[in-house]
Structure 1
Amino acid sequence: MSRAFTVRVPCSSANIGPGFDVVGLALSIFLELKVRIDPSASGVEQNCKIVNVGEGAADLPTLADENLITRTALYVLKCHDISSFPATTFVTITNPIPLGRGLGSSGAAVVAGVMLGNAVGQLGLSKDRMMDYCLMIERHPDNVTAAMMGGFVGSYLRELDPVDMERKEIPLSEVLPEPAGGIDTGLQPPKPPYGIGHHIKFGWAKEVKAIAIIPNYELSTASSRSVLPKTYGAKDLIFNLQRLAVLTTALTRSPPDAELIYQAMQDKVHQPYRKTLIPGLTEILASVTPKSHPGLLGICLSGAGPTILALATHNFDAIAEEIVGRFKKEGVECAWKVLEPAYDGAEYIEE
């Protein structure tokens, strides 16, 4: 039978100041898959025709075993003894999430792929179980948890028993095999253990919006992680833990306490080390404050960067233009958007 449905997945911002690899926030830019399954169609390679629209569309793969979204879907299907997409599956991927900017574009793609596999295979997986599949591919839970579950979330990977630990660090190539491996590659991929990750949703004051200031260049997560130290001193870790303990409650309070939130969003674990990769970062984080710009609550690097995230209740234009202007002095052009939390996370909509 013919079927049609839509999958929508929000972008996300990770870290939110002191919460390095711990917290994530789903935001209102949505990756969207329009999917149609038409058994009467024929002659489509791998039973799946992909059309890419939006950010990076010209450079994204259109073969099912090369595109991250459909490769992820195939992994989920193969874990359930389904070797391919139903004939014939048409997928239009519309992506407005900037690539390589610290807004969780790859995390959204992984979540969309798991949702797609669940939907086309009619597997009936819960969101919690789908998270296990996401975490087999994306080992950092902050972005994928926010994108799947929605809202402002804290997450962690649990310590697994020895048998599961053998599978925990399976190379990505075994989960999402490279397409050059041939038609049989990855036909029996490793299934994820149950409950790899756990999360909790925090509250969020209704007045608080997020301004994303998005520089016009990409910064890979690998590059951004490469500048971080291998070990940290107790003083810096305690600094971040103290602020994170305050921040997760401070952002729930209405009206928000700007001074409390601003100080609670300070960080000594990742932002100071990434300043060499993002022109003007130190000055921006230090000089745009609630006193200089009323309405501002806090400011931080979004994920691995280079996007800057400013939480605010009003005065959005002035706050954004100040940060855009500071980037411009460094020769960097930026776009900016005011975003709302995406409370529902990833959605499946039957048509």
Structure 2
Amino acid sequence: MIKIKVPATTANVGPGFDSFGIALNLYNEIEIEETNKQTELLQEGNVSDIPKEKNLIYTSLTKVLDEHSYKYKGFRINISKCNIPISRGLGSSASCITAGVIAANKILGNTLSEEDVLKTCTKIEGHPDNIAPALLGGMVVSLMDNDNVIFSKVKVPNNVNFAIMIPEFKVSTEDARKVLPSSYSKEDCIFNISRASMLIAAMNNGEIEKLRICTEDKIHQPYRKHLIKNIDNIFNKCKELGSLCEFISGSGSTLAAIVKKDNKKFINNLNNYLATLDGNWKVHLLEADYSGAKIL
């Protein structure tokens, strides 16, 4: 049996649309075992209601095996710990794809390099912003150059945490893409380029006092905010409670705030406020994960 642990990820991080991602210490754990029976898909020991044709762990696993002409009959796939919620902007699909490809590589005798695994995962996902940090850990800037994935690691200041606010409602990636405009003004592009560049520098240099201005965005958040009820009120409350910045995690519906580790009252006060709103919000105070996906 192969056991794999994959972290959640928050992508975009304000201006880094489809390019920036940070791995967080919230994990799915997946068990994959090859069998001589029909494939069995489980979630925390119970039969999954997702058919294998739509199960990203299974489809990613078998895609790689098929490409290498590996013969198999079936698998027992169990998400033994499912902590990354689906369709909330925390990289649940990336975690499943990464687990499937890593398991396939293990079955094949680790014939794929880390670069090959990253490239394969990205090809399945379509973009690397969640895949790269899920696989590599930490904060990662990534881009596509033809079929190649180019990435660079960014330091995360050691004196900050991530307040991750997860509602019960979902925002599908498809819906979040539909609300985006087909073109942007030169001014908006310059706005985002400057802030994305400054965000990398500020993170690398530990200049956390600059995070608020350099997580501003005009490419996706102004259009997606309408899909998330009470977002402005929540962001204003986070700022009032002392957060360094706030942003939509991925395409939502999860929201994120970066807070100083010594802001001890932030989470309790935020929880009390969110309890007054619709959405059944749950808050996790997380740190960056630096290990990425790994076989246990």
TM over 0.5: yes
Residue 198 of structure 1, aligned match among 137, 142, 150: 150
Q: Which runs of 4+ in 1 moved over 6 A?
A: none
Identity of aligned residues (%): 30
Distance 2:238 2:60 in 1: 40
Q: Does 1:20 align with 2:17?
A: yes
1:80 aligns with 2:68: yes
Counterpart pick for 1:35 among 32, 37, 46: 32
Alignment of 1:1-351 (within 5 A): 4-37=1-34, 42=36, 44-45=37-38, 48-53=39-44, 58-61=48-51, 63=52, 65-84=53-72, 89-94=75-80, 95-158=82-145, 160=146, 196-254=148-206, 256-258=207-209, 260-286=210-236, 288-289=238-239, 292-294=240-242, 296-314=243-261, 318-320=265-267, 323-324=270-271, 330-349=277-296
SS at match of 1:18: coil
Q: Cα deviations across residues 194-230 of structure 1 (Å, max 9, x unaligned)?
A: x521110011111111110101111111111111101
**3-state SS of paired residue (2:5):** strand
CA RMSD of aligned residues (A): 2.3
Q: Match of 1:285, as an amino acid?
A: F
Structure 1 pair 348/93, CA: closer, same or farther in 2 (3 Å)?
A: same
Mapped contact 1:299–1:311 kept (Cα < 8 A): yes
Cα deviation for residue 282 of structure 1 reads 2.7
Counterpart of 1:169 in structure 2 is: none
Q: CA offsets, 1:119-162, max 9 Å, x none?
A: 1222421111011111221112100111111100000010x3xx
How far is the alpha carbon of 1:326 from its aligned partner? 5.7
Equivalent residue letter for 1:16: V
The structural deviation recorded for 1:250 is: 1.2
Q: Supply the distance in 2 between the matched residues of 1:84 and 1:123 (Cα, whole angstroms).
A: 17
Larger Rg: 1
What is the aligned residue count? 295
- The answer for unaligned runs of 5 or more in structure 2 is none
Cα drift, residue 83 of structure 1: 3.8
d(CA) in 2 for partners of 1:20, 1:136:
18
Change beyond 3 A, Cα 1:346–1:200: same
Contact 2:6 2:294 in 1 (8 A): yes
With the length of structure 2 as denominator, give the TM-score of the two structures: 0.91
Per the TM alignment, residue 293 of structure 1 is displaced from its structure 2 partner at its CA by: 2.4
Letter in 2 for 1:212: I
Shift of 1:321: 5.1
- TM (norm. structure 1) is 0.77
Letter in 2 for 1:245: S
The letter for the 2-side match of 1:82 is Y
Once residues 243 and 233 of structure 1 are traced to their aligned partners in structure 2, the CA distance between those partners, rounded to angstroms, is 16
| Cα pair 1:272 1:282 within 8 Å, conserved | no
- The 2-side partners of 1:313 and 1:145 are apart by 25
Contact 1:279 1:330 survives alignment (8 Å): no
